[in-house]
């Protein structure tokens, strides 16, 4: 069986990556502001992500069994690799703080009287436990949860058949190619580019795992989920509903009724967000723990999980108070993400290729 670090199988790696993508984007639709063309932006974003997937995968071929930080040291040297490791630590912490929006959604729809800080503490405590357990339990968890996510998505689609309106999917291409490409670029960064966190989790026993397949299958699985969800919600709510509502996925599910008593199913969306976000957060904390270990030269990654969780929670609580003041987190992320998702891996790939050829 192919293995990753503690024995993560190919199936578990794909499920972990796909669920991480789902948790990162959460209930928010990609291509916001594109109306009915949001799904075209998703397809464009996946196509734009292909070079990034190839670079990530090639790095694992050049240094089998090495994680991101070992690759950085080999390519950039010990001193510069520390500086770059700090950049990645900041990125992983920022990525973890994006859970704030998902927790705010859960508070709004399920626990409106619960302080946001309390919910964040519960989320981070649970995710910290998962991260401390290691990648293998997270991978096994991911296989189960991705099956549950698929079942929930299929069930919601079947129950929504009577609510679907095909004319809501039209017109196609109305916003123009430039706007679609711009939306695709955003989709490439969020969530697809965040898959760079997987490189931080690699271990010595990952040599046999085909990461070309992992990144493409994991990305394709998440893409299918996003496309299915977006098109279903668009067919229910229409363009105005998709653009106007804060949580269109939840609102679309709330329009579904079944049975003689008119049963409601929107709680399934909340469950899906809860499970996927916990996985995404656990992966971010694991990656941040690896970065802290690299920066502090510690030997054991698990001991760095709690410091990573404390830093991520502190940043999230700080951002929670700054959002109301108009803090432009999304704008900062869109400028910072390309550096760590594509810029640094691209330079690292070129340097390692030259080194390997020189020594080969």
pLDDT in tens, 128-157: 999 999 888 999 999 999 999 999 999 999
- pLDDT above 70: percentage of residues in the chain: 92
215, 193, 195: which is closest to 338 by C-alpha? 193
77, 29, 18: which is closest to 216 by C-alpha? 18
d(CA 211, CA 58): 8
Q: What is the mean pLDDT of residues 12-34?
A: 83
pLDDT grade for 297, boundaries at 50, 70 and 90: confident
Residue 33 has phi, psi (to 5 degrees) of 90, 0
d(CA 74, CA 66): 10
39, 25, 21, 30: which is closest to 235 by C-alpha? 39
Strands 257-258 and 263-264: antiparallel
Question: Is residue 325 over pLDDT 80?
Answer: no
**Cα angle at 39 between 12 and 233, to 5 degrees?**
85
Question: What is the pLDDT at residue 7?
Answer: 58
Question: What is the pLDDT at residue 262?
Answer: 56
Question: Is residue 3 over pLDDT 50?
Answer: no
Instruction: Spell out the residues 6+ positions from residue 35 whose beta carbon is closer than 8 angstroms to its own.
Output: 174, 175, 239, 242, 243
The answer to which of 105-109, 153-157, 178-182, 312-316 has the lowest mean pLDDT is 105-109
The answer to which of 22-26, 40-44, 104-108, 258-262 has the lowest mean pLDDT is 258-262
d(CA 99, CA 127): 11
**CATH label, 10-355, candidates 3.40.190.10, 1.20.1740.10, 3.40.47.10, 2.60.40.10:** 1.20.1740.10
Q: Where are the domains of the chain?
A: 10-355
- Number of residues written out for the chain: 360
Question: Is residue 105 over pLDDT 70?
Answer: yes
Q: How far is CA 274 from the centre of its chain?
A: 14
**Cα angle at 327 between 21 and 241, to 5 degrees?**
55
Instruction: Spell out the residues 6+ positions from residue 190 whose beta carbon is closer than 8 angstroms to its own.
Output: 24, 25, 30, 333, 334, 337
Question: Is residue 4 over pLDDT 60?
Answer: no
Residue 305 and residue 131 in contact, taking contact as beta carbons nearer than 8 Å: yes
51, 48, 33: which is closest to 176 by C-alpha? 33
- pLDDT above 90: percentage of residues in the chain: 64
* Per-residue model confidence as pLDDT tens digits over 207-224: 678 999 999 999 999 999
d(CA 53, CA 69): 18
d(CA 199, CA 267): 34
């Amino acid at each position: 069986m192919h293995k990753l670090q503690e024995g993560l199988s190919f199936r578990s790696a794909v499920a972990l990556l796909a669920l991480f993508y789902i948790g990162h984007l959460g209930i928010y639709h990609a291509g916001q502001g594109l109306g009915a063309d949001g799904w075209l932006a998703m397809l464009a974003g996946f196509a734009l992500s292909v070079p990034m997937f190839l670079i990530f995968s090639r790095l694992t071929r050049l240094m089998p069994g090495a994680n991101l930080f070992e690759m950085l040291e080999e390519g950039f040297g010990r001193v510069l690799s520390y500086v770059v490791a700090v950049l990645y630590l900041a990125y992983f912490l920022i990525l973890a703080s994006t859970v704030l929006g998902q927790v705010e959604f859960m508070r709004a729809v399920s626990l409106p009287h619960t302080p946001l800080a309390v919910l964040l503490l519960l989320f981070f405590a649970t995710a910290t436990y998962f991260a401390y357990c290691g990648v293998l339990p997270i991978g096994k968890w991911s296989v189960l949860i991705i099956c549950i996510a698929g079942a929930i998505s299929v069930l919601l689609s079947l129950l929504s058949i009577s609510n679907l309106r095909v004319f809501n999917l039209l017109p196609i291409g109305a916003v123009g190619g430039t706007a679609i490409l711009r939306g695709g670029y955003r989709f490439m960064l969020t969530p697809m580019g965040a898959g760079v966190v997987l490189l931080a989790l690699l271990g010595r026993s990952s040599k046999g795992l085909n990461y070309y397949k992992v990144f493409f299958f994991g990305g394709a699985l998440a893409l299918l989920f996003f496309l299915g969800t977006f098109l279903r919600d668009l067919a229910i709510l229409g363009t105005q509903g998709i653009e106007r509502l804060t949580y269109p996925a939840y609102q679309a599910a709330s329009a579904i009724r079944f049975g003689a008593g008119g049963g409601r199913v929107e709680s399934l969306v909340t469950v899906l967000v809860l499970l996927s976000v916990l996985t995404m957060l656990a992966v971010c904390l694991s990656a941040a723990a690896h970065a802290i270990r690299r920066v502090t030269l510690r030997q054991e990654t698990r001991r760095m999980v709690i410091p990573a969780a404390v830093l991520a929670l502190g940043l999230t609580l700080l951002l929670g108070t700054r959002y109301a003041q108009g803090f432009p987190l999304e704008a900062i992320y869109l400028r910072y993400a390309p550096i760590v998702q594509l810029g640094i891996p691209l330079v690292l790939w070129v340097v390692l290729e030259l080194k390997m050829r020189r020594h080969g």
